[in-house]
Amino acid sequence: MRAEVTPDEASTIAVASARRDAGEAVGHGAVLVASDDPDLRRRICRPLVEHGFEVVETVDASTADELARRFPVDAAIIELSPGTDPTELLGGWQDVDHGWYVPVVLVRSGATPEDAGLAVHLGAHDFLVPPVDDVAVVARVHSAVEAKRRHDALRRRVIELQELVRTDPLTGLYNRRHVDAELAALASAARRQRTPLAVLLVDVDRFKRINDQLSHEAGDSALQTVAKRIRAIVRAEDVVGRWGGDEFVVLLPSTDRDAALVLADRIRHEVSRRGSGLLAAVALTVSIGAAAGWDPEPSALIGAADTALHRAKAAGRNRVRV
């Protein structure tokens, strides 16, 4: 399959990307081919199409770069026009918006082995010198696509490991170590921007009774329920974490004391909704301590919220205090 794209057709949707979004198979991979020489494009594209690659053609590197930033591709073959700086060209391809590696095979007529070596040193996956033959084109692209798949698989694994390091496995919320880092960053930003920062400490009431009278499985379910109900209320920019045991923490940037109290009471009401399953017979409630400041210092803010939480507990639980 082949799709022609010219500079005047920058809004044209890449065929391979559209098919992938629709859940269709995309053969061996989606490849962008950029050259202002139609004969060269034909010599490159024909064997790729015959070998099952999805090919999107364009006449210059800048349009190819634009397409790669808008639609996922697996590799690109780009002709270096006279006067084009390979350093600048390859630098752009190493920073596509998708965040995934796109291997680039450069093509230049009359290039020397030294030119090819420099291009690879600068970040090109490989190099072709016209006249190109079918075997060389297919082999270079196969190699590039496999390199991308290995790179992307490694990147996904790194992201998964990063999530494991900062996430509480039971609730899926951030763990205390990550919340500490977020709190320090948010406090610093609040001081620079002269905006308030609020903290809520949320403690499950009589949690030990749930574990003892029902089961530890019911206790786990209670923690997961509280986490889910908090998460459903807060804003995207708020940070929610498991602070430890049956205690949760909510960091609220650009939030003063009054707004924090309103949100805390919403959380309290949301958590107290009747549960189901293991929690059907449990009156699940939380006590919440709130603190806010315009010149926040992390430990002082947490300390104030903790003191407020103790007051909420002492007042009979299922309370919000500041």
The 8 Å CB, 24+ separation contacts for 112-121 are 118/86, 119/80, 119/86, 119/90
Which portions of the chain are predicted below pLDDT 50? Answer: 1-25, 97
pLDDT of residue 100: 66
pLDDT of residue 263: 97
pLDDT of residue 27: 62
Q: Are 116 and 128 in contact (CB under 8 A)?
A: no
Cα separation, 116 vs 124, in Å, equals 9
What are φ and ψ of residue 118, in 5° steps?
Answer: -65, -40
pLDDT of residue 187: 97
* Residue labelled with tokens 């020397």: 112
pLDDT of residue 318: 96
Cα separation, 49 vs 31, in Å, equals 10
pLDDT of residue 62: 80
- Domain definitions of the chain by residue range: 2-163, 176-321
Cα separation, 239 vs 152, in Å, equals 28
Query: Identical fold at 2-163 and 176-321?
Result: no
pLDDT of residue 156: 87
CATH number of 176-321: 3.30.70.270
CATH number of 2-163: 3.40.50.2300
Number of helical (H) and strand (E) elements in the chain, helices listed first: 11, 11
In the chain, % helix, strand, coil (3-state, to 5) comes to: 50, 20, 30
Q: What angle do CA 148, 157, 248 make, to 5 degrees?
A: 145
Q: Roughly what angle, to the nearest 10 degrees, separates helices 86-93 and 61-70? A: 10
Cα separation, 207 vs 284, in Å, equals 9
Cα separation, 151 vs 100, in Å, equals 8
What's the number of CA atoms in the CB half-sphere (13 Å) around residue 115?
16
